[in-house]
Amino acid sequence: MSVLGGLYSGISALSAQSRNFGIISDNIANVNTIGYKEVEGRFSNFVTSKSVARNFSPGGVTLRPFYDPQKQGLLQTSDSRTDISITGNGFFVVNKNEDAGSNDTFLFTRAGDFTPDKDGNLVNSAGYFLQGWALDSSGNIVNGASVDQLTSLQTVNVAGFSSVGQPTQNVSITANLPAGEDNTVAGPHQTTNMTVFDSLGAPQTLTFQWTKTANANEWTFATGITDSTGTFNAIAGATGTIQFDGDGSLDGPLATDAFTALGAAFGAPAADGTFQFTIPAASLATSGAEQPNDLVVNLNLGAPDGSSGLTQFSGDYELKLANQDGSAPSGLDQVIIDEEGLVTGVFANGQTRAIYQIATATFPAATRLDRDNGNAFTITSNSGDVVLNRPGVGAHGLLRPETLESSTADTAEEFADLIVAQRAYSAATRIVTTGDEMLDEAIRMKR
Q: Using one digit for the tens of pLDDT, what is the confidence trace for 278-294?
A: 898 888 877 666 788 99
User: What pLDDT score does 102 carry?
Assistant: 60
Give the tens place of pLDDT for each residue, 126-165.
999 999 999 987 789 988 888 889 999 999 998 866 667 7
Is there a single domain that holds both residue 225 and residue 304?
Answer: yes
Strand (E) positions, 38-136? 40-45, 61-66, 75-77, 84-87, 91-95, 106-109, 115-116, 122-123, 129-134
Of 104-118, 286-300, 375-389, the range with the lowest mean pLDDT is: 286-300
| pLDDT on residue 242 | 86
Whether 392 maps to a domain, the answer reads yes
> Once rounded to an integer, what is the mean pLDDT over residues 54-64?
78
Question: 21-57 burial string, b = 16+ CB within 10 Å, else e?
Answer: bebbeebbebeebbbbbbbebeeeeeeeeeeeeeeee
CATH number of the domain bearing residue 246: 2.60.98.20
- Whether 352 is covered by a domain: the verdict is yes
Looking at the fold, whether 316 and 172 belong to one and the same domain comes out as yes
The C-alpha torsion from 59 through 40 and 427 to 49, rounded to 10°, is 0
> Residue 101, exposed/middle/buried by CB under 10 A (0-12, 13-18, 19+)?
exposed
Q: What is the pLDDT of residues 247-277, one digit of tens each?
A: 888 886 666 666 666 655 444 556 666 888 8
Residues 175 and 293 in one domain: yes
In a domain, 100, yes or no: yes
The reply to whether omega before 188 is within 30° of 0 (cis) is yes
User: What's the mean pLDDT when you consider all of the chain?
Assistant: 87
Residues 110 and 151 in one domain: yes
Would the pLDDT of 420 be above 70? yes
19 and 86 within one domain: no
Is 73 in contact with 405 (CB distance < 8 Å)?
yes
In a domain, 331, yes or no: no
Number of domain units in the chain: 3
Output the pLDDT for position 86: 96
Distance (Å, rounded) from C-alpha 352 to C-alpha 356?
12
**Quick one: 173 and 321 in the same domain?**
yes
Identify the weakest region by mean pLDDT among 22-36, 234-248, 269-283, 390-404: 269-283
On whether residue 38 sits in a domain, the answer given is yes
Residue 263, helix vs strand vs coil: coil
Whether the predicted model's global pTM rises above the 0.85 cut: no
Query: Residue 104 is part of which domain span?
Result: 75-163+336-405
Contacts of 117 (CB under 8 A, 6+ apart): 123
Looking at the fold, whether 429 and 388 belong to one and the same domain comes out as no
Q: Using alpha carbons only, what angle is made at residue 47 by residues 42 and 50, rounded to the nearest 5 degrees?
A: 175
Q: If we measure between CA atoms, which residue out of 12, 108, 82 comes closest to residue 363?
A: 108
Helix (H) or strand (E) holding 423: helix 411-444
pLDDT at 439: 87
Quote the pLDDT of residue 266: 42
Rounded mean pLDDT, 225-245: 88
At residue 236, does pLDDT exceed 50?
A: yes
Q: What share of the chain is helix, strand, coil (3-state, %, to 5)?
A: 15, 35, 45
Q: What is the DSSP letter of 364?
A: T
Domain-located, residue 299:
yes
Do 242 and 298 share a structural domain? yes
HSE-up (13 A, CA, CB side) for residue 41: 23
- Say whether both 283 and 371 belong to one domain: no
Last residue of a domain, one of 325, 347, 370: 325
Query: Considering 325, 345, 365, which residue would you say is the last residue of a domain?
Result: 325
Q: In the prediction, which pLDDT does 265 show?
A: 45
Range among 284-293, 342-351, 397-406 rated most confident: 397-406
Rounded mean pLDDT of 380-399?
94
Residues 234-273 as b/e (b if ≥16 CB within 10 A, e otherwise) read ebeebbbebbbeeeebbbebbbeebbbbbeeeeeebbebb
- Lowest-confidence region among 98-102, 183-187, 338-342: 98-102
In this prediction, residue 1 carries a pLDDT of 53
Q: DSSP character for 151?
A: G
Q: Which of 268, 298, 325 is the last residue of a domain?
A: 325
Please enumerate, as own/partner, the contacts of 232-237 that have beta carbons within 8 Å and a separation of 24 or more.
Answer: 232/207, 233/283, 235/277, 235/279, 235/280, 235/283, 236/280, 237/277
Ramachandran region of residue 227, left (φ > 0), alpha (ψ -120 to 50) or beta? beta
SS3 436: helix
Query: What band does 7 get if pLDDT is binned at 50, 70 and 90?
Result: confident
Whether 305 and 214 map to the same domain: the answer is yes
In a domain, 264, yes or no: yes
Domain membership of residue 330 (yes or no) is no
Q: Residue 275 and residue 259: Cα distance in Å, rounded?
A: 6
Q: Which of 149, 66, 79 is nearest to 408 (CA)?
A: 66
**What confidence score (pLDDT) does residue 210 get?**
96
pLDDT of residue 260: 66
Looking at the fold, whether 135 and 176 belong to one and the same domain comes out as no
Looking at the structure, tell me whether residues 265 and 360 fall in a common domain. no
More confident residue, 416 or 328: 416
